[in-house]
Amino acid sequence: MSVDPESPPNPNPETGEVVLFSPEFARCPQPVYAGLNAHCPVARATLTGGAVISRYEDVMDALRRPEIFSSAMDLELALGTQRPMIPQQIDPPAQTRFRKVLDPRFSKRRMAEIEPAVRQHANELIDAFIDRGRCEFDQEFAVPLPCTAFLRLMGLPQSELPYFLRLKDGIIRSQTQVEDPTPEKVLEHRKKIGQEIYAYFEKVIEERRARPGDDMISYLLTTEIDGHKLTDNEILDVSFLLILAGLDTVTATLGCNIAYLAANPEQRRRLVREPSLIPSAVEELLRWETPVTAVPRVLKQDVSVHGMELKKGDLVTLLIGAANVDEREFPNPDQVVLGRERNRHLAFGGGAHRCLGSHLARMELQTAMEVWHQRIPEYSIQPGETPRYSPGIREVQYLPLVWEPRA
């Protein structure tokens, strides 16, 4: 871990403020996490002014108490939506009823059924550049592999992937798509993109109603909750969430994992020698890299955390990445232990809102890591180049890799 000596302290020891959405933080957040856990377990976010909770026990406690730390917040307009995304921005018991009908579509058994197709696609992607001896990992592998699998599950056309990626980035990384990224301009852009997402899925709903298939939208049209079919708005709100999560988080995780291994050849070579370590290595890199660094909550009642009085209605940021390197939970948290045995990381969240697609993500990550290291065991970051990380969800948007091409 390293800190730029020219950068101001983060967190600020005088104000207790922490900067969470900057390229510098995204590139190397672990020193910031360590500072928070050691000295400032409840900080203040510079953008929102809300509290930032960092230690594992506190974050886990908040995740398990949605009646106090609620996901049902007035953030929908900030994300370009007209209503809360389902099931992420609603709380139990309503959230639990939706999870009961959504979870079977992302079960471990169903993910095992699509694993051969994911493995075949990974090999096909590598076939296209292995003889070249180089690739830009994000665009040539990390984006197309999980996105193709997700679009297949949704029953959406693969040819429209660039369009879906533009929509997804228009919500998650709207600052990069606006010439003058003021908060007002960013919000205006997100609302415009949100309208596009709704309009697109309104058409899909009508098409599936006329010609149902074996895809997610067809399933949502026929399933029932408490004896009632889902409304079109509920299907739109589920689809809005899925298109954002399904096209971003696994891509981000793959990039972070390979960037780490490219920069740490001893760890990479051990993984090549011992491929049986890949499942535990995936969990350890999820802990260490934690692409989804934080999740927001809103308080439903006053609460005190480490002596700081937080008020009903306050916005709270649960810093998942910091919880995952808390020495109170993880022995030697600043060391990446590929065979770590007890690893209760929170990269998929926890409690009622634990990630809906965790089985899909694990399958894709393990398959991708196996195929990549079988085909390209020796690789490194191209000399003279620097990986580029995005703030928020930590995607390595530029990761140029090189290796010795086959003779």
Active-site annotation holder among 97, 105, 173, 270: 173
In a domain, residue 368? The reply is yes
248 included as an active-site residue: yes
* Count of domains observed in the chain: 1
Residue 6 maps to a domain: no
Residue 357 falls in the annotated catalytic set:
yes
State the chain's mean pLDDT as an integer. 91
- 121, part of any domain: yes
Do the beta carbons of residue 124 and residue 376 sit within 8 Å? no
For residue 265, pLDDT beyond 60: yes
Q: Is 346 a catalytic residue?
A: no
Q: What is the pLDDT of residue 2?
A: 38
Answer whether the bond into residue 11 is a cis peptide, omega within 30°: yes
305 within a domain of the structure (yes/no): yes
Please determine, for residue 8, whether its predicted confidence score (pLDDT) is greater than 60: no
- Asked if 232 and 374 count as a contact pair (C-beta separation under 8 A), the reply is no
Q: In the predicted model, is pLDDT for residue 111 greater than 60?
A: yes
Task: Given the residues 79, 135, 247, 249, select the one marked as catalytic.
Answer: 249
CA 72 to chain centre: 19
Among the listed residues 310, 356, 360, 365, the single catalytic one is 356
Q: In the prediction, which pLDDT does 185 show?
A: 86
Find the range with the poorest average confidence among 55-69, 281-295, 335-349, 383-397.
383-397
- 37-41, 136-140, 251-255, 368-372: the lowest-pLDDT one: 37-41
Locate the DSSP E strands across 125-226: 134-136, 224-225
With a cut of 80, say whether residue 244 has pLDDT above it: yes
Q: Does residue 279 lie in a domain region? A: yes
Q: Which of 80, 194, 357, 392 is catalytic?
A: 357
Question: Read out DSSP for 380-406?
Answer: EEPTT---EEPSSB--EEE-EEE-PPP
Q: What is the mean pLDDT of residues 269-282?
A: 97
CATH number at residue 282: 1.10.630.10
Catalytic residue check, 356: yes
Identified catalytic residue from 91, 138, 237, 248 = 248
- Decide if 316 is inside a domain: yes
Residue 376: which domain range? 17-402
**Assigned domain for 1 exists:** no
Residue 4: per-residue pLDDT = 44
Helix (H) or strand (E) holding 196: helix 183-210
Overall average pLDDT of the 158-163 stretch: 93
Q: Model pTM?
A: 0.92
Query: How far is residue 278's CA from residue 271's CA, in Å, rounded to a whole number?
Result: 7
What distance lies between CA 8 and its chain's CA centroid?
Answer: 27
The model's pLDDT over 221-243, given as tens digits with 9 standing for 90+, comes to 999 999 999 999 999 999 999 99
The tens digit of pLDDT for each residue in 17-34 reads 888 878 888 899 999 999
Q: SS3 for 54? A: coil
Active site residue 355: yes
Q: Which among 75, 355, 375, 388 is annotated as catalytic? A: 355
Q: Does the residue 197 lie in any domain?
A: yes
Is 285 designated active site? no
